[in-house]
Amino acid sequence: MINFKIYKAYLESSKPKVVLLMIFTSFVGMLLANPLSLNFEVLIFGNLGIALMSLSAGSINQILDQRIDKIMLRTKRRPLVLGMLTTNSVILYSSVMAIFGFAILYFLINTLTAWLTFGSLIGYAFIYTLYLKRSTPQNIVIGGAAGATPPLLGWTAMTGQIDLIAVILFLIIFTWTPPHFWALALYRKEEYFAAKIPMLPVTHGEQYTRVHITLYTLMLTIVSFLPFIIRFSSYFYLIGALILNLIFLYYVLKMQIGKNNLLANKIFNYSIIYLSALFGFLIADRYLFLLLNI
């Protein structure tokens, strides 16, 4: 008999909002790759395979972080921590999800996407969670590469190759990740300290972290304009990106100048809206451009 608590465990352990955001960016990557001649089989099975392997990676993260999860307020009610599930059952289910996800991508999509997605799983679940997260305050910068792959994976699923715009989509999420997670780390600094996780606010202090959030947000602003700079997108996207970046910079600079960490949680939440809207502008711009040129 299926224990449906397992499904709940995987949804909770895999950060559903983040997983949905990553699948959305994968979906956008697919639409951008081939907007006028969509392969719906690739659209459905590609995102299914990527989602299964993302959920598996999140589940492995929960297995490896049980000690930390017991300490931190936002994770202490996860099923493994509460004893609702055993480690062995989560390992089994996570393995099944990874195998099915990889098989779908390998046999129904293409080998490039399958291996890139597998590399992302290894990068996040093991290299980041098991090593980087516990050893360096630059953990999220280095480990962020694994979480930045979904739009690249969506692109390769449709095209079978890596192109410049796919790399730019990867870079957008890669530069977005540090201010996103460092804002959370500022807000949850005491919890990370108690868990002995060397996040930047713990190792280098709050002011140092605020400065780096500001610098990476400025870097993100520049990177987000690249689709327009290489003439992949039009002024519609440029205006949308400009508005989103101005709001992001407003919150970040307000926190930096006022040294107000209470804004950190607002920045963390806005960063999710920012990335969703930015990719939304990208795809809307692409279809608007195509419609105007038919």
pLDDT per residue as tens, the chain (294 positions): 445 555 555 455 445 667 788 889 999 999 999 888 889 999 999 999 999 999 899 889 889 999 898 988 878 888 888 888 888 988 998 999 999 999 999 999 999 999 999 999 999 999 999 899 999 999 998 888 988 999 999 999 999 999 999 999 999 999 999 999 999 999 999 999 999 999 999 999 999 999 999 999 999 999 999 999 999 999 999 999 999 999 999 999 999 998 878 899 999 999 999 999 999 999 999 998 777 775
CA distances from 287 to 157, 232, 236, 237 (A): 20, 12, 11, 11
257 and 144, same domain (yes or no): no
Tally of structural domains, the chain: 2
| The pLDDT of residue 12 | 52
Distance (Å, whole) CA 149 – CA 145: 7
189 and 82, same domain (yes or no): no
157 and 68, same domain (yes or no): yes
User: In 3-state terms, what secondary structure has residue 258?
Assistant: helix
Distance (Å, whole) CA 224 – CA 201: 26
| The pLDDT of residue 76 | 83
User: In 3-state terms, what secondary structure has residue 234?
Assistant: coil
**Mutual angle of helices 263-292 and 16-33, in 10-degree steps:** 20
272 and 183, same domain (yes or no): yes
| The pLDDT of residue 4 | 56
At which of 139, 162, 185 does a domain end?
Answer: 162
178 and 67, same domain (yes or no): no
104 and 132, same domain (yes or no): yes
18 and 107, same domain (yes or no): yes
What range does the domain containing 40 cover? 1-162
Distance (Å, whole) CA 204 – CA 226: 32
| The pLDDT of residue 73 | 82
| The pLDDT of residue 34 | 87
| The pLDDT of residue 1 | 43
At which of 138, 162, 186 does a domain end?
Answer: 162
| The pLDDT of residue 59 | 87
At which of 162, 178, 212 does a domain end?
Answer: 162
Distance (Å, whole) CA 20 – CA 71: 26
Six token digits for residue 13: 């352990």
150 and 168, same domain (yes or no): no
237 and 131, same domain (yes or no): no
| The pLDDT of residue 90 | 87
115 and 22, same domain (yes or no): yes
CATH of the domain at 74: 1.10.357.140
2 and 128, same domain (yes or no): yes
43 and 144, same domain (yes or no): yes
Six token digits for residue 73: 């307020």
